[in-house]
Structure 1
Amino acid sequence: MHVQPGQVPLFRRGYRLQWEATQNGYVILYPEGMAKLNESASAILTLVDGNKSVAEMVTELQARFPQAEGLEEDVLEFLALAYAQKWVVFRD
């Protein structure tokens, strides 16, 4: 899937983001198990609320990480991967 900046991601039914103290980080919980996320994935997925567009998420991330270059492309690529993993879907 080619993700567009205007699209709005949300977690797929049965999937959720959660902080796990035992993992010392965020994880995606889903019916078949769990995936531990790295810091970059966590920063992106904590902004997924079903209301913010990808462009709005990128704006927030750029404010939080002003030194980061190529942020929009990285976010678009990651969300395409999250879609392929079935973690997120996009509102119509």
Structure 2
Amino acid sequence: MSAHAITPHDRFEIRPPFLFRWEDSQQAHVLLYPEGIVKLNETGGDILQLCDGKNTVGQIIKQLSQRYCAADETTISNGVLNFLEVSHGKGWIRTTA
């Protein structure tokens, strides 16, 4: 994010006109937009699924650490933060109040 670093208290949601959903034909989560489609890997789909404007970044990290049975949250945390920074930079997500 250009204005400030992502904090554990930030909340993100999918930014219109992007539409996040499971696509059977791709067997993956995707982001649909007027000009095309972005096919996400499993981890990217798991992260964006939790970007509902309600979960904080800290909650997303905790949930994914439990899902992936990670004893060390640092690896999960770094991956989530990197993915959110890239997703925000590409305009896929936005912060919520």
- Asked if these proteins are the same fold (TM beyond 0.5), I'd say yes
Preserved contact between residue 47 and residue 57 of structure 1 (Cα < 8 Å) = yes
Count residues in correspondence: 92
Structure having greater relative contact order (Cα 8 Å, sep ≥ 6): 1
Cα deviation for residue 15 of structure 1 reads 1.0
Identity of aligned residues (%): 33
Q: List structure 1 segments (4+ residues) > 6 angstroms apart after TM superposition.
A: none
Q: How does 1:56-75 map to 2 (within 5 A)?
A: 56-67=59-70, 69=72, 70-75=75-80
Match of 2:32 among 14, 29, 39: 29
- Tell me the equivalent position of 1:76: 81
> Mind listing any 5+ residue stretches in structure 1 that lack a counterpart?
none
Distance of 1:37 and 1:58 partners within structure 2:
18
User: Pairwise CA RMSD of aligned residues?
Assistant: 1.3
> Mind listing any 5+ residue stretches in structure 2 that lack a counterpart?
none
Preserved contact between residue 3 and residue 77 of structure 1 (Cα < 8 Å) = no
Distance of 1:37 and 1:43 partners within structure 2:
9
Q: TM-score, normalised by structure 2?
A: 0.87
Q: TM-score, normalised by structure 1?
A: 0.92
